[in-house]
Amino acid sequence: MTTISYRPEVQRARTLRQRLSLNRLDYLRELRRLAAIMSQAELASQLGVKQPTIHSALRTAAKMADPVPGFSGASPYEITQRYATGELTRAQLVDELSRWAYPSEAPTGGFDPLLVSTSGSFDEVGRARSEGLIDGAIYDAILDRAVDSSQ
């Protein structure tokens, strides 16, 4: 698997980009939680936004998965993002992703299995590796522990 070489001075921007994505996830999940205990109008007032803004955000939030119990995210990719932003240690990342219940290869409906990725699959760990969120040593450690625990 190849990786792109990033200039060191771009690392802060790369981390902030991942943080932005995670902040949006966390914000929408929090809105969904709050909407269960307060009206959209009250929530909008408390946040200083218009009610249609809350309504639209809640429609988006309804489609989002919550973190899997016992894990830091709803997907292997989200967990690697949290590691890349410093929310998780290397040990936590390897532990969580080696315990993740990766789905077996699902039927691809006639599509090439190399082009179709199942949500929550180990492909997400590979994507994180290729995007530089984790390095090869971490990828190998996750793979080795995941294989060992499946036997």
Per domain, the residue ranges of the chain are 1-64, 72-151
Q: What local confidence, expressed as pLDDT, does residue 26 receive?
A: 98
- Whose structure tokens read 């492909």? 123
Q: Please work out, in degrees rounded to the nearest 5, the angle formed at the alpha carbon of residue 14 by the alpha carbons of 21 and 100.
A: 55
Structure confidence at residue 115 (pLDDT)? 57
* DSSP tag of 74: S
- Distance, CA of 16 to CA of 2 (rounded, Å): 23
CA-closest candidate to residue 78, choices 67, 90, 94: 67
- C-alpha distances in angstroms, 11 versus 15, 53, 69, 85, 90? 6, 33, 31, 10, 18
The domain made up of 1-64 has a fold known as Arc Repressor Mutant, subunit A (1.10.10)
What pLDDT is stored for residue 117 in this prediction? 65
Q: What is the pTM of this model?
A: 0.85
- Tens digit of each residue's pLDDT, the chain (151 residues): 445 677 888 989 999 999 999 999 999 999 999 999 999 999 999 999 999 999 999 999 999 999 999 999 999 999 999 999 999 999 999 999 999 999 976 555 655 555 556 889 999 999 999 999 999 999 999 999 887 766 6
Please give the Cα distance from 124 to 145 (Å, whole number): 16
Q: Which residue has the tokens 């943080």?
A: 19
Q: Residue 114: how many CA atoms within 13 Å on its side-chain side?
A: 0
* Cα gap 142→125, rounded to integer Å: 9
Give which of 68, 118, 117 is closest to 97, Cα–Cα. 68
Cβ neighbours around 12 below 10 Å, total: 9
Confidence at residue 4, expressed as pLDDT on a 0 to 100 scale: 61
